[in-house]
A and B are shown apart, each in its own frame.
Chain A
Amino acid sequence: MNAQDLLNVVVIGSIYTLFAMGLTLSWGVLNILNLAHGAIFMFGGLLAYLVTQDSALSLWIVMPMSMVVCGLIAVLLELVAYRPIRRRVADLHASELATLIASIGAGAMLVAIAENVTENQLVGINPETFVVEQTSFLGLRTTNLEIVIVAIAALLSVTLTLFITRSRHGRALRALAQDPYTCGLLGISPDRMAAATMFVSGALAGAAGVLLAMQLNTVEARLGEPLLLKAFAVIILGGVGSVQGAIAAAFLLALAETFTDVYASTSVRDAVAFGLIIVLLLFRPQGLFSRVAWQRA
């Protein structure tokens, strides 16, 4: 494993970070394991493809736009599916399971829509949106796009971490995660916070979708699927709801995968994440970094 591989780890880890942060947020705060997250992510790339079809737009216009739309899609799911379930079902496990299934259905719907739009073809974002150039960084081969990916991931994860730990709304968010019942009494509207959380979660997925679609130079309806279980592994590794944990875990997973790639074979690469899930759930279900709730008290 050489420095070039490590650079690869950083790029892949950045994509995983962007993807997993949104997922861990909605799970940690709202108990929503949103399996439509992968489809929302794919929609980010798809939107970028659609708006650049006729004329090239700058990435700095396309990406914010995708983020907003993906955020709104996530809010829509919250409004038409997840919130009604939370309202109707009092039992937490039943509600989690219903939400999980609803999110699978919602994801399938988005994928089906994308298949219609793309007519089951591979499509690509207009390359003029962001002209990719080879450059070198500390003597390693890379591209300006990869540098942008890493920078955006860093920017967004730092912003999100600061927001959650420092801002008033972030504290409200954590209050919601700890105790959704009484936070209503504290003047925080759980419904509004839930919608806001879903928006942020969707927006992060949208950003990740655009960037990965640029990096791979393709968009297709099932772009998000392989990432979902990896993100699950990342979340378990980092501890559910912990954004910092997710960031660290994203890079760890990228490292482990690249390691398998280099020293074993590519075919078992995907097994790493799945195996990791099972092993982790067994031995450290609270995640590598976080402590169990009662230890924190």
Chain B
Amino acid sequence: MAESMLSLDDVKVHFGGVRAVDGISIALEPGKLYGIVGPNGSGKTTLINAISRLVPLTDGTITFDGTVVSRMRPFQVSREGLARTFQAVRLLPTLTVRDNVRVAVDRMRDGDGGRRGRWRRTPAERNRAENATDVALERLHLTQLAGEYPENLPFGTQRRVEIARAIANRPKLLLLDEPIAGMNREERTEIAEIMKSLRDDGLTQLLIEHDLRIVLSACDHIFVMNFGKCVADGPPRETAARPEVQEAYLGRKHDGGA
């Protein structure tokens, strides 16, 4: 088996009595697009928060590209090459679109893979950061809007800025928390295309999404979560058709149309 990009070993996140994530063990291979589906409150977001280290683990081990990251601080995993977006759009309202993306590459350096903090940057390094910003903006079709402030942009566009920020530093793994929720059909397809093309460039992605249509058409492999556990996983179509998955999904509120 190929070295996995990310592997979780019996990961648990409990909030007091709430077992938001309750013993998840999964492994992601490099270069694939993975999906997580599951009803609301099943622990999907908490799982991503655990991987990006924004919530403390109750138990378990997370290994990212050969490094154990379970006890790292969020900025450290980020510098290891992990990027994420948030379920609610989180842009910096006082910065332009360009600067919102730029903030993710400000620490980009030569030499050490661009991860270590150092005080001054060389002009070459600064150029590289500018270029990385340009590339990310271009990729999400935002070049024209680089000078705008987020509050003047429609919701779907704000989401794209978030994704541009997440990919700007050329991460090894991208976690996307419902990136197309609240978008119209056209925008959804556009984002799905972008995710597929990122996958074709070799970026590993883990996508949380309610819209089964998108998940089924874009993902290589899906995990189904319910009550903090991974109840099924496998190729999208077969997995979604399994009775226990149908039950998990249809037994409770289905809000794919959000």
List the interface of chain A (C-beta within 8 A of B).
294-297
Contact = CB atoms under 8 A, between A and B. Distances in A.
A295 B16 CA distance: 5
Contacts of B18: 297
A295 B14 CA distance: 11
Contacts of A296: 16
Given A294-B16, A296-B16, A297-B18, 5 more contacts: A294-B15, A295-B16, A297-B15, A297-B16, A297-B17
8 contacts: A294-B15, A294-B16, A295-B16, A296-B16, A297-B15, A297-B16, A297-B17, A297-B18
A294 B58 CA distance: 13
B216 to A, nearest CB: 35
A294 B15 CA distance: 6
A297 B15 CA distance: 8
A121 B135 CA distance: 71
Interface of B: 15-18
Nearest to B16: A297
A297 B20 CA distance: 13
A294 B56 CA distance: 13
Nearest to A297: B16
B37 to A, nearest CB: 27
A225 B42 CA distance: 50
Contacts of B16: 294-297
Contacts of B17: 297
A294 B17 CA distance: 9
A118 B16 CA distance: 55
- Top 4 A-B pairs, shortest CB-CB distance: A297-B16, A294-B16, A294-B15, A295-B16
A46 to B, nearest CB: 44
B15, B16, B17, B18 — most chain A CB neighbours (10 Å): B16
B209 to A, nearest CB: 26
Contacts of A297: 15-18
A70 B15 CA distance: 41
B253 to A, nearest CB: 18
Contacts of B15: 294, 297
A297 B18 CA distance: 8
A296 B18 CA distance: 11
Contacts of A295: 16
A295 B18 CA distance: 10
B258 to A, nearest CB: 20
Contacts of A294: 15-16
A295 B15 CA distance: 8
Nearest to B14: A294
A297 B17 CA distance: 7
Nearest to A295: B16
A68 to B, nearest CB: 42
A89 B81 CA distance: 35
Nearest to A294: B16
Nearest to A292: B16
A297 B14 CA distance: 11
B252 to A, nearest CB: 21
B41 to A, nearest CB: 14
A295 B17 CA distance: 8
A169 B17 CA distance: 28
Nearest to A293: B16
Nearest to A291: B16
A250 to B, nearest CB: 29
A201 to B, nearest CB: 30
A178 B15 CA distance: 16
A258 to B, nearest CB: 39
Nearest to B15: A294
A296 B16 CA distance: 7
A113 B18 CA distance: 52
A290 to B, nearest CB: 14
A119 B172 CA distance: 71
A296 B15 CA distance: 10
B93 to A, nearest CB: 10
A11 B15 CA distance: 42
A293 to B, nearest CB: 9
B56 to A, nearest CB: 11
B13 to A, nearest CB: 11
A88 to B, nearest CB: 15
A95 to B, nearest CB: 16
A178 to B, nearest CB: 14
B22 to A, nearest CB: 16
B157 to A, nearest CB: 21
